[in-house]
Structure 1
């Protein structure tokens, strides 16, 4: 199965790894970014140099109108989206709950991590749904094992946003199954990406936690990408309304 694959937050980290691997496996890839323009354009150039097809599209996915405009632009440049990876996410405020005095920080967290998934899924479903004349498709929501264990110290807000994604995945999958759309979730564990700079203590926290992971190490973005491409493939055609862990056993 191949077509047009949109990966949100694909300028770096897990999103970039998914976009890169998707292009290598024949997808026309829409690389979404909000602020990481240079890395997104570099990734598109890298994919083109390897013989793939990709284009970069700027949009803050927390902005409903911006998402609608981005999908319309993708329609014109690559064709309608046939698969979507809702990957974009932020750590948000790192603090104990009683210290979260800035409501706008929570609004920004949920705007990206939760509302953005709703906005992008809405536009994707309008194009994929067989009930609307589309070909069907796949939506992958990138969650986190933090949704199950509550997150690292000071990251209750982040973990709660990912818990919302797990619920959204289950409910949306059941809602659109008859439309020919599979919705699945993927929970990465600690992975070596720039998002870890947002943790209290930065990436140094990874070295502390790594020995506590059953496999004894943190993950690589490429390992998460392999799982995502499996979920997009026909090999996972009987999987929907479920979320799988790629976390080294953590």
Structure 2
């Protein structure tokens, strides 16, 4: 595969790989030649995803990102990796008057703190190859306000800041750090909101390109940032949103 976009010879770690954007990214990474380490909580779903991947030698790791000790144990068991995709996340919507310490802790633990600790442990254990690429999943919610989304938006705003700081900190190792800000993508997370078909259609019509995103739309951007085609890109937050934030 003679292309800057190939991932041949690279080992890519993907969290949240059992569904949605993480699953689509795993499928595309394998198609582009990578060996993929699939990480999520659900063993059955992970094994299903592994069966979808081209190639062999792909690995499943069962980890709950609400448990910091599990994150450290994961790193202990890993080979050296060339790329990391932090796709694990939750989005439980609350009006601010219903927020409490437990809800805040859960949201930030999974969406921000555990991904940051994952990178810390990978660095300390020398499990990140020189010249590797880290991609965080942020969201347009970090800058595009919607009611009842304060905790999720704040956690993704923290990811935007983390991306920029780590891009500077790790530049001496030629490790690139970027993030993706998706718009509304038709995944299990969106389905969990309980929106009716009419509400989903209304949302889709608000997008200048006329539809909601597909997981593959986001996976394409992630694989670009993992590949050598983006070798002079670091510290950015790439918006992939069908144009909705233009409004």
On whether the aligned pair clears a TM of 0.5, the verdict is: yes
Give unpaired runs (5+ residues) of structure 1.
Answer: none
| Correspondence 1:1-250 to 2 at 5 A | 1=7, 2-34=9-41, 36-47=42-53, 50-74=54-78, 79-92=79-92, 94-100=93-99, 102-126=100-124, 127=126, 134-150=129-145, 152-199=146-193, 201=195, 205-250=199-244
Contact 1:62 1:115 in 2 (8 A): no
Structure 1 CA distance for aligned equivalents of residues 108 and 241 of structure 2: 23
The aligned length equals: 236
Q: TM-score, normalised by structure 2?
A: 0.90
How far does the alpha carbon of each residue in 1:76-114 deviate from its partner, in whole angstroms, 9 at most, with x for none?
xxx22221001111002x2210122x3212111111001
Contact 2:130 2:173 in 1 (8 A): no
Structure 2 CA distance for aligned equivalents of residues 60 and 236 of structure 1: 31
Structure 2 CA distance for aligned equivalents of residues 143 and 202 of structure 1: 25
Q: TM-score, normalised by structure 1?
A: 0.89
Instruction: Decide which structure has greater helix share.
Output: 1
Pairwise CA distance, 1:204: 5.8
> CA 1:153–1:203 in 2, change beyond 3 Å: closer, same or farther?
farther
2:3 match: none
Pairwise CA distance, 1:203: 6.9
> CA 1:63–1:169 in 2, change beyond 3 Å: closer, same or farther?
same
Pairwise CA distance, 1:125: 2.8
How far does the alpha carbon of each residue in 1:45-69 deviate from its partner, in whole angstroms, 9 at most, with x for none?
222xx33431110112232221121
